[in-house]
Amino acid sequence: MGARDAARAIDALRRGWPVRVQAADGALRLMAVEGADSVTLAAFDPGARADILISAARAQTLKLANQIAAADPDMPVLVARAPWIDADVATAISDPVLDLASPLKGPFMAKPLAAPLAAKAALRLARLAGILPAYFATVDGEVEAEVGADDVDAYDDAVHLDIATRARLPVSASETAEIVAFRSPDEPREHVALIVGQRDSSPPVIRLHSECLTGDVLGSLKCDCGPQLHEALHQIADSTWGILLYLRQEGRGIGLVNKLRAYALQDQGFDTVDANVRLGFAIDARDFSVAARMLDLLGVGEVRLLTNNPNKVTGLEAAGIKVAERLPIILPANPHNERYLATKRDRTGHQL
């Protein structure tokens, strides 16, 4: 059933219920380590035999990666269950934020993965669910939801997006603005576009803004999102016409809770790139084809893009939108986001 199965599996995982992930090479029965306690773990795995599936990056931190000679550096790793590994120890194995507070005891043993494709799909599913990429893993037993590796990919597919509704929305940057909401039958995040000014045949000034609750709403000084959002709206309002696409890609696509985990790691000295990697995620998990699909639905094929991020330009172009011009959007740093901006410049290719 495609994305619908992925949606059910995501819902189950977030509730701490077991799911089965199937791929061409086999299946895994899984329960998220996040939120598991002795009661739910005993129900999932009465014999206390479930192993623990973690990301390659986490295995590396735990010095487990070289126990298994994997040709693929992104291959998840299965940590063999030992009698002393309970829900708390499994949480410590999974969550790098706890490393300073509770140094890991070990020794941990990695064991071969019987279904590597299923394991990889399980980690993709964790990102979509916004949970830590770590599971208790068995093969047999009851589950709440079953999902195939292809279903996981279908869930992320922007093609099913459609315009749900539109309305006039005067905003402080411009009284001539219209909001357009987009919906996908497959997943609940609702992206929106704010069209500002009088549409004509010239390419609009566009900003792709990825959601940042802390910056956009709370005025966080750790990033540049809030000021960029307002600056973008004003630059768009000063142009003939333009569109702000507000994309529900919190935390560069890892979700709010995982972004806040990344912040906790930044409090311990890691930068924004290393924090993501340490959690077991890609440096940037966003897919800008969703923005291209939104522009498509708005009948826009060519844009002038407000960004410092070359990946946004290539992402849009790869999805068929012509980027006639890149317009920089640079704002003064503050003492709290200086390092973040420097990391974007030095490690993720932002042109700052």
Interacting residues toward Zn ion by CB under 5 A:
212, 215, 223, 225
Q: Phi and psi for 210 in degrees, rounded to 5?
A: -85, 135
**CB-wise, 32 or 223, nearer to Zn ion?**
223
Write each residue from 120 to 159 as x if it is in contact with ligand GTP (CB under 6 A), else as -, in one continuous string. Answer: ----------------------------------------
Strand partners, 138: 29
CB of 172 to Zn ion, least distance (A): 20
Kindly identify the residues of this chain, within the stretch 327-346, that bind ligand GTP according to CB under 6 A: 344
Site pattern 282..321 for ligand GTP (x: CB under 6 A):
-------------------------xxx--x---------
Applying CB under 6 A, which part among 7-15, 47-55, 159-167, 204-212 lies near ligand GTP?
Answer: 204-212
Closest CA to 319 of 341, 337, 334, 300: 300
Distance separating alpha carbons of residues 222 and 336, to the nearest angstrom: 5
Taking the least distance from each CB to Zn ion, the nearer of 109 and 260 is 260
344 annotated ligand binder:
no
Cα separation, 49 vs 141, in Å, equals 12
* CA neighbor of 27 nearest in space, from 156, 182, 137, 169: 137
How many other β-carbons are positioned within 10 Å of the β-carbon of residue 301? 12
The only residue of 121, 254, 321, 323 in contact with ligand GTP, by rule CB under 6 A: 254
- Does position 350 interact with ligand GTP (CB under 6 A)? The reply is yes
Determine whether 167 is exposed, middle or buried from the number of CB atoms within 10 Å of its CB (0-12, 13-18, 19+): exposed
Which residue reads 């402080």 in tokens?
172
User: How far apart are the C-alpha atoms of 190 and 183, rounded to whole Å?
Assistant: 5
Residue from 210, 303, 315, 323 in contact with ligand GTP (CB under 6 A): 210
Catalytic residue among 124, 127, 286, 293: 286
Q: Is 88 helix (H, G, I), strand (E, B) or coil?
A: helix
262 binds, among ligand GTP, Zn ion, none (CB under 5 to 8 A by kind): ligand GTP
List CB contacts of 101: < 8 A, sequence separation 6 or more.
none
The amino acid at 30: L
Question: Active site includes 286?
Answer: yes
Q: Using an 8 Å Cβ cutoff, are 52 and 79 in contact?
A: yes
| Binding region for ligand GTP (CB under 6 A) out of 2-10, 72-80, 158-166, 243-251 | 243-251
Binding flag, residue 251, ligand GTP (CB under 6 A) = yes
Please give the helix or strand (H or E) that residue 137 lies within, else none. strand 134-138
Applying CB under 6 A, does 78 fall inside the site for ligand GTP? no
Which positions make up the binding site for Zn(2+)? 212, 223, 225
Which stretches of the chain bind ligand GTP, using CB under 6 A? Answer: 209-212, 223, 225, 228, 249-252, 254, 259, 262, 272, 276, 307-309, 312, 344, 350
